[in-house]
Structure 1
């Protein structure tokens, strides 16, 4: 455990695990916010190594989330995923 983060008691581990449905069909994120995560009520900003970004995109893309560069595909020009990759 990192010394500077020693008091953290929240979620740890890879972000993809926080998004994947668990027992009961809800993800830990959905349990936390109390509703289903959809492109209409959620925007993701993902930054990190390419494996992290890919892991999140592999989960959210099939759910209908659009990348920033795909905003022309939406009726209102909005997008639901923006990301930066560090390698």
Structure 2
């Protein structure tokens, strides 16, 4: 049987403004999730990308105002939703 790759997550963070430098909060510009059965909640920057490769992943995301990430999904049973 072929070996399945382990679950993995790759993240890129947006640079923080001077006002945000005293905060530990980062908005994510790029998130890649590989594998199965991951449950993730993420805060995206206004311009961002989400890539999901695998099965049965649940991704909840937030973004400023009406912004939405560019989404690419490969696999079955993945659930992606905006969290308010």
TM-score, scaled relative to structure 1: 0.32
Higher relative contact order (CA 8 A, sep 6+): 1
**Larger strand fraction of residues:** 2
TM-score, scaled relative to structure 2: 0.33
